[in-house]
Structure formats: C-alpha cells, structure tokens
Structure 1
Amino acid sequence: MPRSRILVLGAGNFGSCLADHLADSEHDVFMWSREADLVQFFNEHHKNPSYLKDHDFPPNIRAIGPALPEAEFIKSVDVLLFAIPTEGVRSTLTQLRPRLDEKDLPLLIFVNKGIEISTNALTLEIVADTCGKDIARVATFISGPSFAKEVVRRQPTMVSVASLSNSHAERASQVFHQPWFRCYTGNDPIGIELAGALKNVYAIATGIADGLGYENNTRASLITRGLSEMTRIGTAYGANPLTFLSLAGVGDLFMTCSSPTSRNYTVGYRLGKGETLEEIMRTLGSVAEGVTTAKGLKAVVDALGVPAPIANSVYEVLYEGKDVAERAQSLMELPPLRELELPTQVGEPVRSLMKKLGLDG
C-alpha cells in the first residue's frame, strides 16, 4: 500500500494503538484529541499520558487538537479513522461534513462499537443522516478481537473489515494489513456493527457471573448462549447470520467475555462483587460502551420482538436496579428452550436503512 496521510480521530486506548500500528506501517499519522494537555504532552514525549502510558509511540505520529482540523487539512488526508465513542460520532460528523470534499473523499473507517441511545441507530445510519447516502455507501468498518495492549506489542491480531463497497473494504484492508495484523474483508457492515456492539453487553453478563463466583461451565454457557442471542437479534435486524461466526462476531465475543482486560467484563465483575454501577463508572478510568449499548439494545430487542433473556437481564441490572444474583437465578429457572432457532420475521431495519441509502431496488 502506498504511504498514506491518516487522521485518527480519538486518542483513547484503541485510537492510540491503531495510530501506533499505522505509523509503524510507514504511514504519516495525525491523532486528534479534544484535550490540549494530551496533545502537548504527546508531541513533547511521544507518550500518551492517559492510555498505554508505558508505550513509546513512533515519531511519525503528531497529535493535533483540541479544535477539529479545518477543511484544508481534511482535504490533505487519505484516510479518516474514527476511534471515538458512538455517542460522539453524530456531533463529530456534523462538524466535519462541510469540510469533506465529496469529489475527493478520504477513506472513512469506523472502529467504534455501540448503538446510539437517543435514536437506536448504528453508525452506518448516523453516517447516512449526517453525511448523506453516497458517503454512507462507502463507509468502512473494522472490528474483531484486538485488545490495544496486545496490538502495540505486535501480538498476532486478526480483524474483520466490511463495507457496502467491496473496493473500499479492500482499500481499508490494504491500509491496515501487516504480518502482525491480518484483515479479512466482507460486505455486511451492519452485521459487523451489531456484533461489535452486542458482544460488550454479553461481556458484562459474563463478568457478573465470574464476580458471583461461578466458574468455567457457566462462562462457556454464557458465551455460547450470548452468541445465539446475538445471531438471533442480528438476523431479525437483517444482518447475515454467518457474520456472527466471524472474527467480529464469535472471535470478539470470546475474547471480551473471557479476559479481565476487557472494560465491559470488568464492569460486570465488579457488579457481581456487589459494587454499584455509579461507583464503578466513577473509578473505571475509561469508557465501557456495553453500559450505554445495553440501553439501546433493549429498545432494539423490544422493537424486533425477539427473545433475548441475557441482554434483558443485563439491562435490568444496569438500569432497573435488579439484584445480580436474583437475575442469574431467574435465567437458570427459565423453561427448557429449543437451542438453535432463527427468527422467521427478518430484515425490516435493514430494509429501511437500504432504502435510505438508495439501495432498495
């Protein structure tokens, strides 16, 4: 891949690690942060004072901010990589839209994982709302098992890359692909998004179980039943059920549900140990998107009318104050169920989105 100018929007854990990876891949990388102190410290020391604190970043990363870059700078970059929480995507895109040249559009790549609370929208729909259908149709999404601390140590990592445009998925793959970072392309960005968002909710459930003192049988069961729920919800939404067997699906789910490094798992574990959500969020030190995603997911599940007892239980613990031990017991007391069954009514949300994108015909 030719050397590219890349702007990473977001200097958090994942944004920083991807900036590091891309700079090490010989791209020219700029990393935007809203925090002026972080920008100054990073440029002086090549370290992030808030995330991956012990890591030395390559000299070809320059931090910029706190203001968003102007149109002239945006036009000079080849790739815009969005590594900000889902709740901030709409406002950021709204500000950026007038600065984008549709005739010479940079490659737009999104790595956030979540559902917007106020609208229940996935990022692809947010892009369509703020930037129009033509830009949304070429937006690209990357997801998969990729803890930041392991990426910066060049541990072998593999991810899913998806877009409605095969050529843009291929371009994104070429930008990121390295011997230590393999990319696999696909054409189901909605499934990739749903898998990346939903697995955080099931990681909270698994953390709760571990915090309550349950062991391997329970964890394996929760991961498997979580995958079943994710696939059922995604299929009803209109995603390809096979996407949930991908790196972005079962790969990311397994990792997030089985490692104390996961922020979402940590939230669940501490809930299982009896801490309040308020105390956990005050002291966590970073964003756990599963907490907000659980609220958006509850609305999506209710609208689709699909059974999702694990996801609903997480919502009740987080937002209705239900006791974690009682909810765990309630799940175990459900009547016997058919193990593998996909919904018969599928696809209405995706059909509506495709119509918005002008792809319904």
Structure 2
Amino acid sequence: MKQKIAVLGPGSWGTALAQVLAENGHTVKLWGHNPAQIDEINTYHTNRHYLPNIKIPTSIKGIKELKEAVIDVDAILFVVPTKAIREVAKEVAISVNTKPYIIHASKGLEQGTHKRISEILSEEIPESKRQEIIVLSGPSHAEEVAVHDITTITAASEKLEAANYVQDLFMNDYFRIYTNTDVIGVETGAALKNIIAIGAGAIAGLGFGDNAKAAIMTRGLAEISRLGVAMGADPLTFIGLSGVGDLIVTGTSVHSRNWRAGNLLGKGKKLDEVLENMGMIVEGVATTKAAMELATSLNVDMPITKTIYNVLYEGKDIHQAAKEIMLRDGKVENEFS
C-alpha cells in the first residue's frame, strides 16, 4: 500500500532515504530549514552539497514549512541531527493532524540527559498524536544508497508490527530491511559506533595499519556492548547489522564523516578546524561526551571512549594517548566485564 511520508532533514541520509521511498511509489515531502536548498530540490532535483552528481526523483517535493510537511501523512521520518530532535519533535506534536508512525534514522545521545532518540520522541509527541516509534539503523552510506548499491539495515520497534510496517515501506531490490524489537540495542549501537569510528580514523591518520584497525574496532565493539547491556540491550544485537555491521562501515570508510574527522585529528589538525571544515555534523564528537558521562554513572569501563574523550575535550596529545592505552594493565578478554 502506497503511503504519504514526511522526511524531516534533507542532508545526505535524509535525501537518500527519501529517494528510496519515492522509488517505491510513496508520496514524499522532504522538509528542510534552508530555503535555497529546498528551492534547489524542487527546481533542479539535486542536493549538490550533500549528494553531488545525484539526480533525485522529481516526485519528491521539497517543503519549507514544517507544518505543511507533516499535514495529512501516514508516517514521519526524522533524519535531523540529534541536537535538533527535541525541538523539531515539539513542533511536529503541535502541527500534526493525523496519527502517523514516527520513524527516526538519526544516531546519537542527547547532551545532558543522555537519552536515546526514541525516548526524546516519546516524550515530545504524545501517544494520542502518533502510532509506534521505529528506529531505522544499520551499515549504510547515503552516497552508496543513492546509486543503488546493495544495502541492509534494521527497523526496530517494541511492537514488531510497527517494524514490519517500516520494512514494507523501504524494501526493494537494493535496499533490504530486517526487523528487531531491541530498540535500546539498535539505538545504542548506532550512536556509539561513531565514537569508535573517530578512533579508527585517528589510527589511520597516525599512520598505523590493519592490525591497529582490527584492534580498535574489536575492542571498541566490546565497549559498545558493555554499555548497551548495562542500559538494558540484548547483547546479540551488537553482533548484528546495527552493531558490528554499522561499526565496520563507519570505521573503515572515507564516506564516514566521523572517520574523516578522526583521520584529520590523527594528522595533527585541531578539533575546531576539523569541525569547521567538515560541512556536516560529526555526531561522534558530542556522543563521546554523553557516552563518557553515561559510562561513569553506570560504572562501565570504556577505555577507548575515555581516550577519545581526553583528546577531544581535554586537549590530550593524540600520539601520547595512543601509547598510554597500549600500556594499560593486562586484561582477560571478556566482552561484558
């Protein structure tokens, strides 16, 4: 059944997901707060800043006013930065006139509260104004989805029927969706892998090779799992698409802005300079702070995350930080201790 969908956030991932939905025959409205960008989408059917050389379907309608975007829709897909989720959700709650499914494909933890995105959405959009909340996450570069590279990701909701709804919305011959009910695990894996991706980029920038890459990603996954389990996640989720899958794609590719940021840090660039020149949100930077605070409150050991935190927020020399983490006391390899 064809649906009416509002996609909130015309960045690279929001645009790529809007393209998938439009190609599947759904009616898609793509909202953004930059009028020039929306005019470009409607006039030229491009989004050059985020997806150069890609023509997006002419059926996608760019919308400048949020209220117009969310009127008369079956589902709303949030693809805005984590720091904007609460503000946008409040406006959606005021403006919506149906009872849509709420889907999000953003990846992060809220600063200060350390809340997952689905928790923010459930707080700001009353149950009377929505169906279930579904998380869409997994190993995916927007640049590759936009050119129909084969991609598999996860739709997670506490109600399997809602996850099945999203699966039906997006599935086609190049974009495959698996379902899951472990919302905590899927969201935690999505957020925390960005931290490890910064570390993996830094390792490459420092000139280390594949051995170091394997070390940081494997031990990074152990940290993600420890914190996720402490939050209530199913440990098996972290060996799936939204755990190890997302970590591989984000921690090994130049498409990943978190990896690129870490790579520049490893080459000696200052954080402010890196963020200024990136041109897109590097979610892993803010997530590192939230995760470190959360790990401390839950008494979870996350040495790689702590090292990255020290580099990002305390100005620690990145070469010295790499040496010190190798000289920690010997440990037993146990993923959850």
Partner of residue 320, structure 2: 326
Partner of residue 352, structure 1: none
Task: Name the SS for the 2:113 alignment partner.
Answer: coil
Partner of residue 4, structure 1: 3
1:224-243 aligned within 5 A: 224-243=218-237
User: CA–CA distance in 2 between the matches of 1:28 and 1:232?
Assistant: 41
Indicate whether 1:208 and 2:218 are aligned.
no
Partner of residue 289, structure 1: 283
Indicate whether 1:277 and 2:271 are aligned.
yes
- Give RMSD over aligned pairs: 1.4
Indicate whether 1:163 and 2:157 are aligned.
yes
Task: Name the SS for the 2:61 alignment partner.
Answer: strand
Counterpart code for 1:275: K
- State which of 118, 134, 150 in structure 2 corresponds to 1:140: 134
User: CA–CA distance in 2 between the matches of 1:135 and 1:322?
Assistant: 47
Counterpart code for 1:146: S
Partner of residue 257, structure 1: 251
Question: Residues 75 and 106 of structure 1 are in contact (CA less than 8 Å); yes or no, is this contact kept in structure 2?
Answer: no
Deviation at 1:133, TM superposition (A): 5.7
Among all aligned residue pairs of Structure 1 and Structure 2, give the percentage whose two residues are the same amino acid.
37
User: What per-residue deviation string (whole Å, max 9, x for no partner) do you get for residues 21-72 of structure 1?
Assistant: 111111111100100111112111111132112111111101001x3124xx
Indicate whether 1:96 and 2:92 are aligned.
yes
Question: Residues 203 and 256 of structure 1 are in contact (CA less than 8 Å); yes or no, is this contact kept in structure 2?
Answer: yes
Partner of residue 20, structure 2: 21
Quick one: structure 1 residues 134 and 229, their matched pair in 2 at CA, closer, same or farther if it must change by over 3 Å?
farther
- State which of 30, 43, 67 in structure 2 corresponds to 1:69: 67
Partner of residue 43, structure 1: 42
Partner of residue 55, structure 2: 56
Deviation at 1:134, TM superposition (A): 6.7
Counterpart code for 1:30: K
Question: Residues 100 and 131 of structure 2 are in contact (CA less than 8 Å); yes or no, is this contact kept in structure 1?
Answer: no
Question: Could you list the runs of 5+ residues in structure 1 that have no partner in the other structure?
Answer: 344-361
Partner of residue 346, structure 1: none
User: CA–CA distance in 2 between the matches of 1:134 and 1:245?
Assistant: 35
Partner of residue 81, structure 1: 77
User: What per-residue deviation string (whole Å, max 9, x for no partner) do you get for residues 123-157 of structure 1?
Assistant: 12112221246778820001011101100111110
User: CA–CA distance in 2 between the matches of 1:136 and 1:316?
Assistant: 41
Question: Residues 145 and 157 of structure 1 are in contact (CA less than 8 Å); yes or no, is this contact kept in structure 2?
Answer: yes
Question: Could you list the runs of 5+ residues in structure 2 that have no partner in the other structure?
Answer: none
User: CA–CA distance in 2 between the matches of 1:209 and 1:136?
Assistant: 44
User: CA–CA distance in 2 between the matches of 1:38 and 1:18?
Assistant: 17
Quick one: structure 1 residues 90 and 233, their matched pair in 2 at CA, closer, same or farther if it must change by over 3 Å?
same
TM-score (norm 1): 0.91
Question: Residues 294 and 314 of structure 1 are in contact (CA less than 8 Å); yes or no, is this contact kept in structure 2?
Answer: yes
Quick one: structure 1 residues 305 and 68, their matched pair in 2 at CA, closer, same or farther if it must change by over 3 Å?
same
User: CA–CA distance in 1 between the matches of 2:127 and 2:166?
Assistant: 19
Question: Residues 127 and 136 of structure 1 are in contact (CA less than 8 Å); yes or no, is this contact kept in structure 2?
Answer: no
Q: Give the ranges of 4+ consecutive aligned residues of structure 1 lying more than 3 Å apart after TM superposition.
A: 132-137
Task: Name the SS for the 2:66 alignment partner.
Answer: coil
Deviates more, 1:242-251 or 1:91-100: 91-100
Aligned length: 337
Quick one: structure 1 residues 63 and 137, their matched pair in 2 at CA, closer, same or farther if it must change by over 3 Å?
closer
Deviates more, 1:260-269 or 1:135-144: 135-144
